[in-house]
Amino acid sequence: MQKNIPIIAGNWKMNGSPKQGAALADEIDKYIKTNKIKAEIIVFPPFTLLDEVAKKLAKSSIKLGAQNCAEHDSGAYTGEIAAPMLKDAGCEYVIIGHSERRQHFKESNEIIRNKVSRAHENNLKVILCVGEILDERELGKEYEVVGEQILNSLPSSTNSENTLIAYEPVWAIGTGKNAGQEEIGEMHSFINELVDDNFKNIKESIKILYGGSVKSSNAIHIIAARHVAGFLVGGASLDAEEFCKIIEIAVKKW
Ligand code: PGA
C-alpha cells in the first residue's frame, strides 16, 4: 500500500457480466491515466468477472480484489473459493466480513477471523468491514459492537500493510443515509486507538475507509472527517462517471 494517497475501493457486489465488468474497469482506467490520478484504486468484481477484469487491468495501476474468500485453503467445501485461488486469479485484495455476509450468511467474528488469517497467509490484503445496525446505534451500543467486531475478527497477523478496516454503519449501506462528519470522525478515531492498543504488529496506524451510501454529493464531507483514509463505495461504483467523480473529490481534498 502506498503512503499518503487516498484509497477508493469499488464493491460491485453481485452485479454484471464479464463484458460489462471489463468495460467498467476500462473506463475507470482511462480516467486514471488521462488525469494522472495519484490514489490507490481497487475494484472488487464478483468471482466470475475476475478473469476478464484482471486481463483488462494488466497494464493498469488499478488493483483487483474479491468480495469474500473461504475459511480453508482447499478441500471438500462445495461452492467456496479459497484465498490461493484468488491469488491465482490476479487478486491483491479481498473484502472480508462485509455486513451482507454477516447478516445474510450468518458469518460470525470467528469465521471472519479464520478468513482473514487465510488471506494474510496467502499474501492477500484484507479490507475488514465492521459496523453497527440501526438498533445498536439507537441503543448507544455502536462502539461496543464495532470494538467487539474488531477485537474478535482480526488475527494477530494483522498489520498496517496487510489490512485496512472499512467502517460501514449497516443502516447507511444502500439506503442513501450517511453518518455525520463528527460521528464518522469519532468512530474512526476510536477504531484507530483500539487497533493501536491491541495489535502489537501495528507500527503505523491502520488505514480506515468509510462506506455506506458514498456518492459524489457527500464524498467531500466524508473525506474531511478525522482518520478517513478513503472510501468503500458500493452502488455508486457501478457507474464509471460517478465513481470517477468520487475519486476526483478524494484526490483534490486529500
Ligand atoms: P453502498 O454500499 O455504497 O451501496 O451503500 C457500500 C458497501 O456495501 O460496501
Read off the pLDDT of residues 72-129 as tens digits, 9 standing for 90 and up. 999 999 999 999 999 999 999 999 999 999 999 999 999 999 999 999 999 999 999 9
Q: Which atom of ligand 1 is closest in space to residue 211's alpha carbon?
A: 6
- The answer to whether the CB of 209 falls within 8 A of the CB of 167 is yes
Q: pLDDT tier at 195 (50, 70, 90 boundaries)? A: very high
All cell numbers assigned to 115? 478468513
Strand ranges, E, within 152-245:
163-167, 207-211, 230-233
Q: Which atom of ligand 1 is closest in space to residue 13's alpha carbon?
A: 8
Q: Whose CA is nearest to atom 8 of ligand 1?
A: 234
The pLDDT score that the predictor gives to residue 1 is: 64
Q: Is 107 among the catalytic positions?
A: no
The pLDDT score that the predictor gives to residue 2 is: 64
In the chain, the percentage of residues whose pLDDT exceeds 90 is 93
pTM of the model: 0.97
Q: Which atom of ligand 1 is closest in space to residue 172's alpha carbon?
A: 5
In the chain, the percentage of residues whose pLDDT exceeds 70 is 99
- Which pLDDT tens digit goes with each residue over 48-64? 999 999 999 999 999 99
Q: Tell me how crowded residue 207 is: count the other CB atoms within 10 A of its CB.
A: 23
Helix (H, G, I), strand (E, B) or coil at 245: helix
Q: Is 182 among the catalytic positions?
A: no
What average pLDDT score do residues 184-208 get? 92
Choose which residue among 96, 170, 178, 214 to substitute to test ligand 1 binding: the one with the highest number of ligand atoms within 8 A of its C-beta: 214
* Residue of 40, 52, 71, 98 marked catalytic: 98
Q: Tell me how crowded residue 79 is: count the other CB atoms within 10 A of its CB.
A: 5
The pLDDT score that the predictor gives to residue 3 is: 66
Cα(212) to centroid(ligand 1), Å: 5
pLDDT, greater one: 203 or 185: 185
Q: Which of 214, 221, 220, 223 is nearest to 243 (CA)?
A: 214
- Ligand 1 pocket check for 212: Cβ under 6 Å: yes
Q: Whose CA is nearest to atom 6 of ligand 1?
A: 234
Q: Which of 1, 78, 84, 94 is nearest to 46 (CA)?
A: 94
Choose which residue among 93, 173, 232 to substitute to test ligand 1 binding: the one with the highest number of ligand atoms within 8 A of its C-beta: 173
Q: pLDDT tier at 11 (50, 70, 90 boundaries)? A: very high
- Which pLDDT tens digit goes with each residue over 145-154? 999 999 999 9
* Residue of 40, 100, 107, 168 marked catalytic: 168
- Which pLDDT tens digit goes with each residue over 214-244? 999 999 999 999 999 999 999 999 999 999 9
Q: State the amino acid at position 133 in one-letter form.
A: I
- Ligand 1 pocket check for 234: Cβ under 6 Å: yes
- Ligand 1 pocket check for 235: Cβ under 6 Å: yes
- Ligand 1 pocket check for 209: Cβ under 6 Å: no
